[in-house]
Amino acid sequence: MTRPGRQPARRRGVGPRRETLLATVPVAVAALIGAAGPTAADTTGAPGAGDPYFPLSGNGGYHVRHYDLTLRYETSSRHLDGKAVLTARATQDLSRFDLDLTGLQVTGVAVDGAPAAFRRVGQELVVTSRHTLRTGRDFRVAVAYNGTPKPVTDPDGSADGWIPTDDGAFVAGEPQGAMTWFPANNHPKDKASYDFTITVPQGSTAVANGVLLGQRTAHGRTTFRWRESQPMASYLATATIGNFKVERYSTDDGIQVYNAVDPREASAAAPVLKQLPSVLEWESKLFGPYPYRSAGSIVDHAPDVGYALETQTRPLYDAAPDLHTLVHENAHQWFGDSVSLTTWKDIWLNEGFAVYTEWLYDEQHDGDSAQETFDALYARPASDPLWAYPPGDPGSGKNIFGAPVYQRGAMALHELRKAVGDGDFFRIVHAWPTVHRNGHGTTAQFVRLAEQISGKRLDGLFHTWLFANGKPNSA
């Protein structure tokens, strides 16, 4: 049953709060980098992708087309050995460009096979190529690195990235954590395909995204090879390691399912995971064909984490999920994974849709109607945190996983539904992931699409529900 306000897999505020520190560090680092060479702006890639909430996430001057990651993890010592080979395309002439990487030790960088100079400035790995890389040309950058990966603490106090567990690691990168385990152009604006080769102690399983190409055991270690050939944002990559029970099958639609479950969570997880094919089929009817060839679940036992993540093709759960969480994370395969953000400010496009999918699931499976769920939330007083800030403009990275984004974001969709009627509403939520499949979408584009399909002016409605401060008046 729907209980408005529940956020089963999204409990927050786990780690220590480090807001002050985090607020000042990026500014200082940006100043440092700026001081190092604004004069060379012509051939220097920017240290950030221009995201107001995470100014140093991502970089300028190139797009990554493919990541080839070779990792070796020693669970007992928590040591990671990595090699990343990125195939990228320059979008400007580049004598110098940045990757994002935090912690760890870099032992060598090569560009197109030639050793390149590098230095570390905060989360920026600054690479100076021997030759200027020309606009429009592909280049390869190889980075060798190692060390003990540490999660990053987000502005809201939660930890993400490489999070060690008692039997491996829970690897979840939203919004910033990919850079704790591989050098990346760490912003969802830049999607790429991925190959993973992950070596772990024999008996452990390493689970990444996409399809399993093979696994081989020798000398007490097992190497897993995974491939995600569809474009993927860096935060959706995983390389989760643990002692897992593995289940594999294909759905009637030919989707390859790979479930990895920590035995401690197995009995609680089983009845929910059993529903995955029917949930995907139901979501495919609403939103169009499932965007990927593979699917599944990683059910870890990670009691300190406090959230689940929609890792592409294979959501990652910190414990056995309930059915709502399974529905939510798999809805993200359309909303967030296939249709990606261009700015974290638009996060409601991910979370509002995933939550509204839960409401629709209840409505269509003998639970509360979406209207009932809406009404229960709307009954909250104007002082409730639900109305603390508008979902379309959460104000800072600290707020991107809050109730206004999740619940009020879903309420905005429900208001849209009431305004345009069920026929057009379901056409809109089907068209959105179809038109932007494997790409990106912005709030402005969503509003335009809704207006086109419905033939109605909706700027007032979206202003009220996405952008206005305080509790809106309901239509």
- Provide the binding-site residues for ligand TRP, judged by CB under 6 A: 9-10, 12, 154, 156, 158, 160, 174, 307-310, 328-329, 351, 401
The tokens for 250 are: 């294909």
- The count of residues interacting with Zn ion (CB under 5 A) is 2
Cα–Cα distance between 458 and 456 in angstroms, integer?
6
The item of Zn ion, ligand TRP, none sharing an interface with residue 414, based on CB under 5 to 8 Å by kind, is: none
| Residue found by looking up tokens 């190092």 in the block | 36
Rg (CA), the chain: 22
Residue 9 C-beta: closest distance to Zn ion, Å: 8
| Closer residue to ligand TRP, CB minimum distance, 92 or 158 | 158
Residue 403 C-beta: closest distance to Zn ion, Å: 12
Cα–Cα distance between 248 and 212 in angstroms, integer?
10
Residues 200-229 close enough to bind Zn ion by CB under 5 A: none
| Closer residue to Zn ion, CB minimum distance, 51 or 329 | 329
Cα–Cα distance between 258 and 423 in angstroms, integer?
35
Residues with Cβ within 8 Å of 322's Cβ and at least 6 positions away in sequence, in order, are 8, 272
Strand residues in 300-346 grouped as ranges (E)? 316-317, 339-340
Largest CA distance in the chain: 66
| Closer residue to ligand TRP, CB minimum distance, 110 or 207 | 207
Cα–Cα distance between 16 and 98 in angstroms, integer?
29
Residue 406 C-beta: closest distance to ligand TRP, Å: 7
Q: In sequence order, what are the beta bridge partners of 100?
A: 124, 184
Residue 81 C-beta: closest distance to Zn ion, Å: 32
Residue closest to Zn ion (Cβ): 354
| Residue found by looking up tokens 């930890």 in the block | 159
Residue 158 C-beta: closest distance to ligand TRP, Å: 4
DSSP letter assigned to residue 346: G
The item of Zn ion, ligand TRP, none sharing an interface with residue 158, based on CB under 5 to 8 Å by kind, is: ligand TRP
Residue 44 C-beta: closest distance to ligand TRP, Å: 32
Q: Are strands 245-250 and 211-218 parallel, antiparallel or unpaired?
A: unpaired
Residue 456 C-beta: closest distance to ligand TRP, Å: 30
The item of ligand TRP, Zn ion, none sharing an interface with residue 307, based on CB under 5 to 8 Å by kind, is: ligand TRP
Q: Are strands 105-111 and 114-115 parallel, antiparallel or unpaired?
A: antiparallel
Q: In sequence order, what are the beta bridge partners of 86?
A: 67, 141
Site string for Zn ion, 339-358 (x = CB under 5 A): ------------x--x----
Angle between helices 266-273 and 323-331 (to 10 degrees): 60
| Closer residue to ligand TRP, CB minimum distance, 116 or 326 | 326
Site string for Zn ion, 236-275 (x = CB under 5 A): ----------------------------------------
Residue 317 C-beta: closest distance to Zn ion, Å: 12
Residue 145 C-beta: closest distance to ligand TRP, Å: 24
| Closer residue to Zn ion, CB minimum distance, 228 or 351 | 351
316 binds Zn ion (CB under 5 A): no
| Closer residue to ligand TRP, CB minimum distance, 61 or 394 | 394
Cα–Cα distance between 217 and 115 in angstroms, integer?
33
**Burial of 222 by CB count in 10 Å (0-12 exposed, 13-18 middle, 19+ buried)?**
middle
Residue 329 C-beta: closest distance to Zn ion, Å: 7
Strand residues in 48-181 grouped as ranges (E)? 62-74, 79-90, 94-100, 105-111, 114-115, 117-121, 124-133, 138-147, 152-153, 159-165, 168-172
What is the strand order of the sheet 256-261 is part of? 245-250, 256-261, 294-299, 316-317
The item of Zn ion, ligand TRP, none sharing an interface with residue 292, based on CB under 5 to 8 Å by kind, is: none
| Closer residue to ligand TRP, CB minimum distance, 212 or 339 | 339
Q: Are 181 and 72 in contact (CB under 8 A)?
A: no
Cα–Cα distance between 152 and 176 in angstroms, integer?
7
The item of Zn ion, ligand TRP, none sharing an interface with residue 228, based on CB under 5 to 8 Å by kind, is: none
| Closer residue to ligand TRP, CB minimum distance, 224 or 335 | 335
Residue closest to ligand TRP (Cβ): 158
Residue 198 C-beta: closest distance to Zn ion, Å: 26
The item of Zn ion, ligand TRP, none sharing an interface with residue 262, based on CB under 5 to 8 Å by kind, is: none
Cα–Cα distance between 307 and 229 in angstroms, integer?
26
| Closer residue to Zn ion, CB minimum distance, 322 or 451 | 322
Q: Are 325 and 297 in contact (CB under 8 A)?
A: no
Q: Are strands 159-165 and 221-232 parallel, antiparallel or unpaired?
A: unpaired
| Closer residue to Zn ion, CB minimum distance, 142 or 355 | 355
The contact set with Zn ion (CB under 5 A) reads 351, 354
